[in-house]
């Protein structure tokens, strides 16, 4: 613990050793409750203690800590904002709004409510800030853009667009069950690859970076997965009483037969913020 305290440079920001130890214990209690001492020590060793001490000192309003924070992360935050929004002005606006949350514009019981209190040191502070920016962008900017005003729609010539009506189902329920079962049998990583590739239409390079593997590995994985998935679904459908021909025809069914219009489904409800405080707290 002494070594961690020294490494964290928490003393520079006025955090005492007992306060630092308490900070770590709180993090462990939240992330790995009721774990034996060696496991806790390992958890502490893996923490980015320097970033954690800086974040907590900033959250507590330490001037020196804020100077260091601004020096280390100000430009990075703006760069990340620009990269996420792909627009200079929007990127700065996004970064500024996150700054306000980091500083804490609201107070509770005389204490400023800084978002930095929720940082626990498991990833780097830089990575955490990028994720917070991305979540903020998803919650606010991107969804806000989908709410195009009626005036603007009129200006753009898209007056009174027809309301999308969900297709009435004619899909064999056995097909849905077979697909669900086949998907459930896949490892989480494979489902992530399928969702990224087919639902999100991410490139192979993007998926490869997310999984820290080479692009060609993902290419081979997608090919193999789709082949095996089809085999598995057909096998399950046959097991459920269809002939092979029926099973293959069911899979090749016209997209009009689909219960869901995928594109409509993908456009999520803009009124519901994905990373609301409640959601974030639940996940912490």
Partner 1 sequence: MDAGMKKFVSARLQAQVAGSHPAPELLAAYAENSLSARDRHSLLTHLAACNDCRDALYLSMPEVDTQPVLRPSYKSPHLAVRWATLAASVVILGAVLLTNREMFYRHPQSIQPYSAAPPEKIAELKEPLRDRSAETRSPAIQAANKVLPPFKHMTAKPQASMQFDQSGEVHFASAQAANSAKQISGARVASDEMAVAKDKKAASPVSWNLSPNGDVQRSLDLGKTWQNLPVAGAPFRAITAVGDDIWVGGNAGALYHSADAGQSWTKIDPVSAEDITRIEFSDSQNGLLNTANGRIWSTSDGGRTWHSK
Residue ranges in 27-56 that form contacts with partner 1 under rule CB under 8 A: 42, 45-46, 48
Residue among 43, 57, 54, 145 at smallest CA distance from 94:
145
Decide if residue 21 touches partner 1 (CB under 8 A).
Answer: no
Write out the binding residues for partner 1, residues 187-216 only, by CB under 8 A: 188-189, 191-192, 194-196, 198-200, 202, 206, 209-210, 212, 214-216
Following DSSP, what letter does each residue of 236-251 receive, concatenated? HHHHTT--HHHHHHHH
Q: Which of 183, 232, 238, 246 binds partner 1 (CB under 8 A)?
A: 183
The pattern of x and - marking residues 213 through 252 that bind partner 1 according to CB under 8 A reads -xxxx--------x--xx--x-----------------xx
| CB nearer to partner 1: pick between 56 and 130 | 130
Q: Which of 16, 26, 67, 131 binds partner 1 (CB under 8 A)?
A: 131
Report the distance separating Cα 20 and Cα 35, nearest Å. Answer: 19
CA angle 75, 85, 143 (to 5 degrees): 135
Under the binding rule (CB under 8 A), the answer on residue 180 touching partner 1 is yes
81 binds partner 1 (CB under 8 A): no
Contacts for 257 with CB less than 8 Å, ≥ 6 apart: 167, 170, 171
The CB-of-13 to partner 1 minimum distance in angstroms stands at 19
Contact 52, 72 (CB under 8 A): no
Residue choice 148, 150, 158, 253 for contact with partner 1 (CB under 8 A): 253
> Does 179 help bind partner 1 (rule: CB under 8 A)?
yes
Q: How many residues does the chain have?
A: 284
Nearest-10 crossing angle of helices 37-46, 17-31:
110
């Amino acid at each position: 613990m002494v070594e961690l305290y020294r490494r964290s440079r928490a003393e520079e920001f006025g955090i005492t050793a007992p306060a630092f130890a308490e900070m770590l214990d709180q993090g462990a209690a939240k992330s790995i409750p009721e774990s034996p001492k060696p496991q806790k020590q390992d958890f502490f060793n893996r923490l980015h203690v320097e970033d954690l001490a800086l974040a907590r000192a900033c959250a507590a309003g330490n001037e020196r800590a804020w100077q260091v924070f601004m020096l280390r992360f100000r430009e990075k935050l703006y760069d990340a904002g620009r990269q996420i929004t792909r627009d200079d002005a929007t990127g700065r606006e996004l970064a500024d709004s996150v700054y306000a949350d980091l500083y804490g514009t609201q107070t509770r019981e005389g204490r400023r409510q800084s978002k930095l209190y929720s940082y626990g040191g498991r990833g780097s502070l830089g990575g955490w800030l990028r994720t917070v920016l991305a979540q903020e962008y998803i919650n606010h900017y991107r969804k806000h853009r989908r709410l195009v005003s009626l005036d603007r729609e009129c200006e753009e010539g898209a007056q009174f667009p027809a309301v999308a009506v969900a297709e009435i189902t004619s899909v064999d329920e056995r097909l849905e069950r077979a697909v669900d079962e086949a998907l459930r049998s896949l490892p989480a990583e494979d489902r992530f690859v399928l969702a990224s590739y087919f639902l999100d239409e991410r490139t192979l390079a993007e998926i490869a970076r997310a999984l820290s593997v080479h692009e060609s590995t993902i290419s081979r994985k997608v090919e193999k997965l789709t082949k095996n998935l089809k085999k598995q679904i057909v096998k399950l459908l046959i097991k459920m009483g269809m002939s092979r021909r029926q099973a293959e025809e069911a899979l090749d069914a016209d997209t009009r037969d689909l219960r869901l219009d995928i594109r409509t489904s993908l456009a999520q409800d803009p009124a519901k913020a994905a990373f609301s405080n409640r959601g974030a707290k639940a996940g912490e």
